[in-house]
Structure 1
């Protein structure tokens, strides 16, 4: 009996600890590969493809947006057909093909004449590789974190608490990969060559796939429950078709399955968004017929639980919308922050620091901040507030939004001072002045980026966990697209009539500080909106 008990505990440890660690270990390789492209991409586009500052910043933001938009497709396939494991395997393979294409595109100019650098063939190969990587990211981002969280038993109190820490350490793994890319890979790309700089993350992508596949026999796998998007669509269609029916005074008269199974947990009825309750009204002509409900089309009659799942997503929407502008702000670290660094003195003592390497302060802030948050702040908040998580999910997100306001205000002040010094002939401002903006933005991500992943996973209905995680990535995508749109709008509005605009190729002729102040003002409005909507938020009330 003792041996059997020990084996059971060892198996439980393997599921609850080692499996998430495998996911985190594979994520380090995947993150290093992704960040190895992302961190210095704006430099590659301006120096090798000779794009303008505005075009390069917009293209980086659009590509990042695509990397975080494709998870909707990956989540759909994971929940309906392939499962999370096979979705990750297939999409990592697609990403590896994109990495190879990008590496080949960087090596070909070495074999061709110098005019190849700016040729349409070179540009096409670069963007082919980039967007294959974006497609590959679509299966990895929503499924790797969700699969790791699946390894924890929600019915076990200890594992339920550990699941909250898992999201912190999963984000820590991403940040560790980002740290290595900000230092080693950026240096290799600038000093050895772009071909080698892209070949290293290509090899790491393949390595991450091998590590992930190695744990296939011991993962916990969730049973597929069909497309959550189909169920949501059925509720909307049924509610519209039943719009002329009158809602009963007693909600118990609405249609519900009599004995919900474990895979279809009953969800308590709520009065918010009552229009969609009409999807659960049994038409008078069939209400008296035995078994009539079971024979009706699901596009005409839905259960209360289906309706409530849609309501849960609708209640999360204001929080989701608040995250969009936050991720538009974090997009600056991969675009305008680096372009600002290119206009500064990048000598630090005897060293010459590539502008993209200043992102190391962003990453170090995350790597140091997560253990402090998890080991010190959470236990302190538990004692003070009484919440098992320490800070509630919404409080955590609010702190991150406030820090993002501080980061943008600081970088705007730095840019104003840099411009004043340049126009006064005082020489270039030292690049180390950028360090606090990266560090504060990293601290904001400690609270918000891992917090939003946990929020959408935790608050999503049981059959929509991959979709919930993809909603977090969709917020990142929308933020990047928003940033691209704002950059385009600013260029259009400020560069008319031959004016240099706010963000010209020579930043000393423009006003990048005005753009940073614009983002600061938008962030303040966004923070106020979040405070308002979080105070009215009611969480997931699924009763298993």
Structure 2
């Protein structure tokens, strides 16, 4: 953030100005290779830092709750609701106040405020370090999983024992001393069980793994089909920050004689609806649903995610219909030029933004909780890394789909669906395509969810007593 602040503040790091009324395409002044390099270097540092912190901060927050204390275990169920509430509350601040500052005062001040806020957060985090609960190190989850895969592959032709009790497992003393939670043998992904088969050769971690380590690997692999079904929903999040907002630039944005809604502030509608829906979900829906399901979460995590994915189908149908209306009004008024405003209020976009916030409450919060909850002990950070991986792949997939659609639709002299000029584009067709993709993805999710077995960990009361 310090480097980004310098990039937008120092004249030597900024490209030369073309003036307020000159667009980027009409400007003949360009940033130097050095300025471009510094800018992208700052962005990549932010990306690397985000990849290292996001999976670990949420995991560390959830780890502060003791599963052996009934009250804390109950509170942990609500943790991710309020974790995401705090994240989106900060997003609301950035989408309103900081965007206004950047548009009306300057980018430098906006980045200075963000950098100072991050510095304060870092100081508070460091001050709180002595009171955090720190779990003992259990080794790299990638190494543990690799050992299971290598051992199972090396013993591919080994005959499995009839009784799974003959498989290698940690003793109670070994699991207690290493703070490893023993996990019972399961019948899923049975080919990995060969990693725990005892053979007549020198024992090493790469040819003999305990059942618990095998089951941990199984749990991480079983979540992969669910992970794949979250990629398409993540591409929809990319649309909210790109095409949804670009639609807003073509509509009437005035509120009164002296104020216009900045297009980037449209994302605040998503944040507001999510904040409201999280409170309603946590305080009203969950207590109501618990009476009928006897589930402390009200509904299962996968059911929550399924509702979010289903809402995405509705969102894309609504977005396609709204775009059809916008294009119809544009044609009726003879508006085809780039930059011309269609005489429709920007608030016709409100339903798709509002529904996206509600969908995020179900899918994004449920997704984060699912990957944390179903990851085994010692691999929780890797589980929450699945969550951030879903977002990253979704954004790359969005660009890939856009490129493919542009390439296919321009063949044989046809007009590209998505042009820089939305008044001549067919964004409604593009949204209809996403509707089809969402429907197919929802079917795949239902199949993956039906075949998913929630983890069942063995109770280890002696671990609780050993800590006292």
The equivalent of 1:270 in structure 2 is 186
CA shift in 2, pair 1:233/1:247, >3 Å: same
* SS state at 2:207 partner: coil
2:197 & 2:343 partners in 1: Cα distance?
A: 70
Distance in structure 2 (CA, Å) of the matches to 1:113 and 1:491: 30
> Structure 1's 125 and 502: CA in aligned 2 closer, same or farther, altered over 3 A?
farther
Query: Given that residues 101 and 129 in structure 1 are in contact (C-alpha distance below 8 angstroms), is that contact kept between their aligned partners in structure 2?
Result: no
Aligned twin of 2:457: 542
Among residues 20, 45, 51, which one is paired with 1:132 in the alignment?
45
What do the CA deviations read for 1:473-495 (whole angstroms, capped 9, x no partner)? 11111111111211121122223
Contact (CA 8 Å) 1:103, 1:199: kept in 2 or not? no
How far apart are the structure 1 equivalents of 2:241 and 2:394?
13
Cα deviation digits, residues 109-149 of structure 1 (max 9, x gap): 48777765554444333322222111111222011111111
Partner of 2:213 in structure 1? 306
The answer on 1:467 being equivalent to 2:414 is no
1:100 has 2:14 as partner: no
1:447-471 Cα offsets, whole Å, 9 max, x none, are 1111111111111110101111111
Per-residue CA deviations over 1:488-541 (Å, capped at 9, x if unaligned) read 211222235675511111111111111111111111111111122212211112
Q: Distance between the aligned counterparts of 2:343 and 2:38, measured in 1?
A: 36
Tell me which of 74, 77, 97 is aligned to 1:184.
97
Counterpart selection for 2:267 from 337, 349, 359 = 359
Larger relative helix fraction: 1
The aligned runs of 1:105-124 (5 Å cut-off) are: 108-109=13-14, 118-124=31-37
State how 1:57-68 maps to structure 2 within 5 Å: none
Structure-1 separation of matches of 2:219 and 2:53: 25
Residue by residue over 1:320-339, the C-alpha shift from the partner in whole angstroms, topping out at 9 and shown as x without a partner, is 11111111111211111111
Match of residue 149, structure 1, among 62, 66, 80: 62
User: After superposition, where does 1:514-533 map in structure 2 within 5 Å?
Assistant: 514-533=429-448
The partner residue of 1:406 within 298, 314, 318 is: 314
CA–CA distance in 2 between the matches of 1:192 and 1:443? Answer: 32
DSSP 3-state at the match of 2:418? coil
Output one character per residue of 1:360-391: Cα deviation in whole Å (capped at 9) or x when no partner.
11010011111111100010011121101111
CA pair 202-500 structure 1, distance change in 2 beyond 3 A? farther
TM-score when normalising by structure 1: 0.77
Contact conserved, 1:104 with 1:195, CA < 8 A, in 2?
yes
5+ residue gaps, structure 2, are 20-27, 335-341, 461-468
Question: Do the aligned partners of 1:418 and 1:429 also contact (CA within 8 Å) in 2?
Answer: yes
Q: Does 1:254 align with 2:254?
A: no
Partner of 1:50: none
Consecutive unaligned residues of structure 1, counting only runs of 5 or more, are: 1-95, 287-294
Q: Distance in 1 between matches of 2:410 and 2:37?
A: 28
Q: Which moved more, 1:113-122 or 1:457-466?
A: 113-122
2:370 pairs with 1:455: yes
- In structure 1, the residue matched to 2:25 is none
Query: Partners of 1:210 and 1:117 in 2: how far apart?
Result: 39
SS at match of 1:352: coil
Residues 202-211 or 497-506, more deviating: 497-506
Aligned CA distance change for structure 1 residues 428 and 122 (closer, same or farther; 3 Å):
farther
In the comparison of the two structures, how many residue pairs are matched?
440
Task: Report the Cα distance in structure 2 between the residues aligned to 1:311 and 1:500, rounded to whole angstroms.
Answer: 48
Between 1 and 2, higher relative CO (CA 8 Å, sep ≥ 6) is seen in: 1
Aligned to 2:248: 341
Alignment-derived partner of residue 32 in structure 1: none
Match of 2:406 among 470, 491, 502: 491
Q: Structure 2 CA distance, aligned partners of 1:183 and 1:265?
A: 46
Give the RMSD, CA atoms, in angstroms.
Answer: 2.0
Which of the numbers 228, 234, 239 marks the counterpart of 2:147? 234
